[in-house]
Structure 1
Amino acid sequence: MDYTTLAPNDRLVSGRVVQKDIGVFHIKLNPNSIRADSARISSDNCPDNFCIDELKIGQEVTVFLLSPKLNSGGLWYASLLLAVEDNPWFTNIVKRGEIVGGTVVNYHGYKTAIIRLDHPYTGLEARLDIKDIPNFGTDISDFLLIGDLVKGKICEIDIGNILIKISVNELLEELEDKELEYREKMLNESDRTEHLPQPAQNKDDAITSDDTKTLKDCSVLIIDDDHDFTRELMLWLKSLGATSMICRTPEDVKLRLNKHSFSHILLDYQLDQSPYFKQIRSFLKNIPIPVSIMTAVAYTDIKSEKLNSWGYLQKPLSCDNLMNWLVSGEQPEYSDSQVFDPIWKNSTRTDEVLCKVNRFLGELCEDIGSCAALWCVEEWKRKFSIRAWFNLLREDMLMLQPSCQHTAIRTATSSGTPIALPLYKSGALEKCAPKEAKHVLAWPLEVDGKTDRCIVCYSKKEFSKTQISKIQHNQSRMLDLVDWLQLTRYLDETETFAAMGRVAASSLHEIRGVASPIVQSSVRLRAKAKRISSLSKTEIMELQEDLRMLAVSAKTLERTAKANLAHIQLERREKFRARTNIKRVIKLIKSSALEKEIRIITELPNTNLTTSIAPTPIEQPLLNILTNAIDHLDKDCWGTITVTVEFHFEDDPQRPLHIYIEDNGPGIKSDTRENLFTARSSTRGIDGVGLGLYLSRNLLRSIGGDLLLVKSIRWIGTTFCMKVPVKINS
């Protein structure tokens, strides 16, 4: 008999217990239409409150048959969980497209995870293939652990084999489409009640225009591996009525072109750093659709390649140039006069250190025989800022800055190895080079295991081994300057938080503890420097000046800590008001959210409840959770964070104010959830110290509150709940 043709009702059979083992029991089935002789039921397929030890030999049991065991002569696998009237297979609630959630309980080979579904699908298991999750790999256990919570869409149903397959990718696409539709709607409204981010201005690859034309007849395929840029470009096209889709691999391109029709194709030239560009170019050359190359590489460098007479649009893109090409196919005339604002805004203290960096670059060039140099840092993913330079023009630096990611700078920082190139192959670095320069060298700097800084040197001749050796000799001075810049930036950030009054008292005591030894050490070192006879007079003066600046920085750090402690003492006389203080915290992280295009939603009560305690033990955990959420949200995922306030006076009278913080980030793995609130357990890997959630929970518990993890579903999001004691403000 072909069991794959069985209806669910035919699988409900009864029998008597004949054998019991650890975690499993066997039954002898009564005569049935399926001709099944016996069944094997494991504890995994039994209700939670069911105990196999309480079964008696000969006891009558009704089970739901799943599938026959191969070459077993009538032995079937069965489930006690599904032997009920509300079996999902009986009620026909198992439908394609339904959203289901569950827990990872096992693996089927290397590419499939077994998911035990939640209510109302209790008793059912689904399969999740590696191709249906937003990761690329060969072993699904690298991305999903036993115990992880997942949610997805039912994409395949096989009633004959009692088999369900789900897809996380299909669910994410649906959620992303809804979020994009919402954002487009909000962009067209002048009065918005939520914190909806606008497309970034004056940043790398930014698109800005006041053009009011529409592109209703345009359907654009964007082929680019830069998530930030493609999202911004897609929003701009949508605002003008055009439709667009994004592809990143040759397979995606073929799939989109086979299923959809497009009027234009925008192709990123930098894909030639991988085999993708050649594959895509070969595929597109026979398609009768207008194609334009987008690149920061100079037109003169690529026009010789004769890319099938395709168009050329220079990054950073101009809205007018892109509009003209989409409407009429007109090719723009380019000039190098565009100037962009620097990403990094320096404080006076940082400027003083950068003056020393400028002097160092001059000394380095003199030492190695280089004609010019610049110093840049990766502020965030693919966004570089040029901090210092020697023998180069500021206007050229501002023009070069948005294009750093398309040069050897990014390649050097990504690989961690120096890169030497002829100037004509250096892309945008050629535009700002001195006239006599013929070669360029990008030298990456590694600090604390992270390579995010780079020094670029220009030379008249090809860089020799002697020059490279001298750069290595100066590397310790480079790293000292990096440490100095990090310290000044930390001081700037600390003073900013001091003005806001949002740094925890425990952290400030640690700052003071660190600052005092720095001050004492600097004083001793300055005294010793006067007795060093082996150094020249100039070198001793430089050393004393360096130590003086270190002492000033340390004293500033100590002064900042004292100011914050004084502010917190004043805060203790304040009262936490739900609406007022939550809005105040959200205002603090608003700029960070806007930077990553994260939408913040607030659902606050009309009643401004107040606590009998100071704001800090509540604001600080809230700020920490929101900051963690922003850190874990990628810019290309249309991130949202929802802050909801609920009152539970009846079921939780001691802590009736519940503040829920929900995001749509990657979720937390099961092994991390177990120690989430333990000291030195970080969800940010090497970037975190593992104290944020630990201190946050302890702060809330110190006032009679608590911090709980409500749920965390992989690739769907995480929800925390802060429980706070309150009293109603009259």
Structure 2
Amino acid sequence: MEDKTNKPCSILVVEDDEGLARLIAKSLKNTGFDVGVVHNGVQAVDRVVNNPVGLMLLDYKLPDMSAKQIVDTLKERKFEIPFIIMTGHGDERVAVEMMKAGARDYIVKQGEFFELLPSVIKWVFEELQSKMKLAQANRALEESEKKYRSFVDNALVGVYKANLKGDILYANKALTRIFGYKSPEEMMLDNIRQSPENEKNWKILIDKLQKSGEVKNLEVKVVTKTGQTINLILSGSLAGDVLTGMAIDITEKREFERQLLQSEKLKAMGVMAAGIAHDFNNVLAIIQGNAQLLQISGGDDNEELLNGLRTICRAVKDGTETVRRMSEFTRMEKGTSKFVSVNMLEIVKQAVDFARPKWKDLAHASGVTYDLDLEGLNSVPDVLGKPSELRDVITNMINNALDAMPEGGRISFRMWNEDNTVCTSISDNGNGMSKEVQMSIFDPFYSTKGVEGSGLGMSVAYGIIEKHGGKIDVESQVGKGTIFTIRLPIAVETIHAEKSPEPVNDISARASNYRVLVVDDVKEISDLLNMFLNRQGYNVDSVESGAEAIKMLEKESYDLLLCDLGMPEISGWDMIRATESLERKPKIGLITGWADKIESLKNEDMGVDFVVGKPIDFSILSGHIKEALIIE
């Protein structure tokens, strides 16, 4: 996209409040910036198109257009202008939306707005300048590499002459080495077009030469004498019936680029996982909280309902593990410290139950039938592992098998004990895989599902099984189906899983002596905690912002402050500091959706009595509260 930002220190203020716009412009002009002002989206687009600026300072909401609409309109006209978002209220969702849209920063028009604004803009300009210098350095590096290549072309580039039939008339040593021959004479006596791939590429090369007389930088894959597939860049010209040209082997370069791309994708996945973990855990907290309240109040009469609620809670727990595991995967972390004894027979049955909506309910609704054969499942010794991870592996394989049979089919399960190893196989009679696909199936980001697939499923499964000290193999034939076999070492000792939390007991008579203040910016979570603690008998007040909570703490006396860590404007950290000045400091419990911070928070001495992760297990929370308030 063409870069039309020709004024690196010019700023366009887009603000519908004319008085505020003048103040902003004056503040920035005093700092030395060239500032222009418009008051609506149409004016902003027109100004940028006719007189591009270095930076836009955009009000999030304008009378005629939103900030995102302005940015999108400019992009449609091929203008990529850096921008900072201004808003009257700190809103995490707005911040995420606009950062995804390309905002360089996000600033709230409150408090120290005018003091912060110049430094924020200066930082953005410095960042843009750094990127510009980096781009210039990269261009200089590319020029340097071109000069370097000119010195080594004779040694590294293959040179050849050939006729239109493909007979090699001349080959230098570099070309001979590229194609795997011992000498130029051996290569000239052989027919390099004998493989279908080479024949196809030769026809493409000749066709281009006959049309234009020369070919530059034609990238092809060719097969060498030894059967190896390599990447070549071909250039050449045609004089009569004789083709003269060069061939550069870029196989290692392409492999390095592939590895670099995978590395960048992993980094991107790490950023994404960190970004979604908090929001995703908030959603899971709402689901689990409501399910737990229904379990507590539903009684024991409806076993079907209770089983469904238990399944929901187990699925939420697995969802939480998935977020954590994604972070581990992108950081390449491994560990076995929390392995317990696992019954693989139960794991397979649970995975089948988890996948039921896909292989039964949705399939039947589409007129498709799947037959799941569980006859080959047998009792086997326990293995050591994490149940949720192993269950995810099996569920992923079931889903892959279903995807391989869109018209229906059969999935068979077998389980047996072999040489101190528990073996589990899952087979289908679907499309099957070629040898090439089988060799790549466990590579990160390799997918056979096109845009629908992330390419992470089988690579994550491979990593999980490897972390468990096991192996995962694949056997497949095109048109006949696929068999995945998992082998895990038998547990040499029994390590019991952590006991389920004790049921929440009725402590209402004693709890009524204590006052609790709940603070969470997600209303549904705040309401859930309020409802649960009220049922426990506590006197509960709940608010949805740190500012409201501080006002409550200054007016009232509380025994416990139960506070979300990540909140806009005033965070959980700010709340902790605010309690230091209180005459009667309450006990403090932190709640966080940042799964990767829980252990570090527990190990820090911050004056916090306990830390609970989202989604919240009410039994665990109840135990922490009773311990903090010393309720017997």
TM-score (norm 1): 0.23
More helix by share: 2
After TM superposition, the score normalised by the length of structure 2 is 0.27
